[in-house]
Amino acid sequence: MEQALLTLRNLTVAVRIPGPAKGDAQGYLLPRGPVTVMHPFGASRFYRHGWHSWSPVDWVSLAQPPKRPTVERERWYMGDDAGYLVRSRHGGNAVGAVEGRDGLVLLLGALHVGARVEADDEVLRGFFEDGGGQGAGNALPEGWFVAYGDPVTVFGQYAELLGRRLGRRRVATAPRVWCSWYSFYGQISEEVLTDVLHGLTGLEFDVFQVDDGWQRCIGDWEPNERFPSGMEAMAGRIRAAGLKPGLWLAPFIVAPASRLYRDHPEWLLKDQDGHLAVAGHNWGDYYYALDTTHPGAEQWLRELIARVRRWGYEYLKLDFLYAAAMPGQRFRALPREQAYRHALRVIREAAGDDAFVLVCGAPVIASLGLADAIRVGPDVAPFWEAPFATGGLLERSWPGTRNAVCTSLHRLWLQPLIHTDPDVVYFRSRYNLLTPQQRTWLQDLARVAGFRATSDPPQWLSADEHRELASFLQERSAVERLGLYRYRVDGREVDFSVVVSS
């Protein structure tokens, strides 16, 4: 460990770092290992970077202690990185920033997976869960980027470095998607979807994505009785309608009612005490995590992805992925985010380079370079505020359009690295409590994020709403950034500040 003074623009900070820093006033690279940056900004605000797609991301006040989750512990991972949710310091995954003077921010960001950044009114501190090569001698690898500047610039610099380290995969434009979830939820069938397909004629979608509801069970990825012709036939109908078939899967979680759970308990992740690690609660029961480092589970995963590709699906929405990166005892003792990355690499190999992989409920930084797109917020809903608010931290990760818009806005700096999916937008007024203004915010966010999807069956739309959807799909928006939350979209000024501060 050494102490040093670093000068970043007009700011000099004292640091404790494992070895020499390299860089200049525009930013420094620090060695891998634990680092502490003393900041002079007191109880200002902290950019809290939640772990996975649904985790809260926001500028939080350092004057207050971090909020605690108010839901039961078994559900914490569905909201964020559970092991850290009772720490007394504010923190997040891989990157954090403290607001300084004149709108400038001091950013500390990791250049490898498995890192945590925490802050209080005196320090910004980062560490790697695996220790990060402490004491490895004089050839310490670069582990961190630290910079002080306007937020758009420093997050942009950090993204650039992350892209060099973890890779970037960005096809020129994201496909325009019709997704079955936010209209029919689990109640889908061949007939329901075929009906929607007919209604899509004349609308410029690229992908028709079948969401949750087609499978026999979480873990048993075969069609249920509502898809009697099978998933290959479903893909055929989609293709016949001129669209690319898309399919939802949650390959890293396992429900206790599944055959997979019964036949292969040895493939499931164990906690420190050797019990099965609970990954969350949904579909009426607790569910568990696949130990993707087990050779049997890895082989099963390869075969699963190869099978859905053979069925004809080219767009894969892979959900609840955080489960493969939970702490626990694995067959192979890999650090958890490296285990996740390995599993995602296995999926990528089995899917092929030409498949479009959208990850959801996914550790964000650890997905870079392997996924084509990532959901950057919690689920939207046909209402603004989650109605079951209890004031706890994780209510920000619950379905609700305000939550989705806020979190997604704070993750748009990822755009040069991966397509950012802010979730579907609504055009319908039917079965919808969102006001026209709230629907417009969501639509404008999709334009800014560059990812267009909806679940509205055209049959539910009025003539005006149908026209709006049609032009939304056709247009190529001109987006210009005017400020932290302000954009010019096709000549109109769009200001999300009210959404963020509400």
**Active centre residues (catalytic):** 319, 379
**How does DSSP assign 263-308, residue by residue?**
H-GGGB-B-TTSSBPEEEEETTEEEEEB-TTSHHHHHHHHHHHHHH
Residue 332 CB-half CA count within 13 A? 16
Q: Which is nearer to ligand 9PG, 54 or 261 (CB)?
A: 54
Q: Which is nearer to ligand 9PG, 123 or 321 (CB)?
A: 321
360 binds ligand 9PG (CB under 6 A): yes
In whole angstroms, how close is the CB of 394 to ligand 9PG at the nearest point? Answer: 9
CB closer to ligand 9PG out of 78 and 200:
78
Q: Does 78 bind ligand 9PG (CB under 6 A)?
A: yes
Nearer to ligand 9PG, 78 or 316 (CB): 78
Q: Which of residues 300-359 bind ligand 9PG (CB under 6 A)?
A: 319
**Beta carbons of 291 and 340 less than 8 angstroms apart:** no
Q: What is the dihedral of CA 78, 79, 81, 86, to 10 degrees?
A: -120
List of residues 6+ apart from 194 with CB closer than 8 A: 237
Q: Which of 80, 120, 212, 465 binds ligand 9PG (CB under 6 A)?
A: 212
- Integer Cα distance of 482 and 459 in angstroms: 37
Q: How far apart are CA 321 and CA 343, in angstroms?
A: 10
Contact set for ligand 9PG, span 275-294 (CB under 6 A): 282
Site string for ligand 9PG, 362-401 (x = CB under 6 A): -----------------x----------------------
Q: Which of residues 32-71 bind ligand 9PG (CB under 6 A)?
A: 54
Q: Name the residue with tokens 């999300």.
A: 496
The nearest distance, CB 373 to ligand 9PG, in angstroms, is 13
Of 62 and 362, nearer to ligand 9PG (C-beta) is 362
Q: 10 Å Cβ neighbour count for 28?
A: 22
Q: Which residues contact 171 (CB under 8 A, 6 or more apart)?
A: 356, 372, 419
Look at residue 14 and give its three-state secondary structure. strand
| Shortest Å distance, C-beta 130 to ligand 9PG | 29
In the structure encoding, which two tokens stand for residue 84, read together?
A: 């850290």
Taking CA 196 as the corner, what is the angle to CA 440 and CA 255, rounded to the nearest 5 degrees? 90
In angstroms, what is the minimal distance from the CB of 183 to ligand 9PG?
12
Q: Of 144 and 181, which has the nearer Cβ to ligand 9PG?
A: 181
- Kind and range of the H or E element at 408? helix 401-409
Residue with token string 């959208």: 358
77 interacts with ligand 9PG by CB under 6 A: no
- Quote the least distance from Cβ 3 to ligand 9PG, whole Å: 44
What's at 125, amino acid-wise?
R
Displacement of CA 132 from its chain's centroid (Å):
24
Nearest approach, Cβ of residue 78 and ligand 9PG (Å): 4
Contacts with ligand 9PG by CB under 6 A: the residue count is 10
Residue 211 lies near ligand 9PG (rule: CB under 6 A): yes
Q: Which residues bind ligand 9PG (CB under 6 A)?
A: 54, 78, 181, 211-212, 248, 282, 319, 360, 379
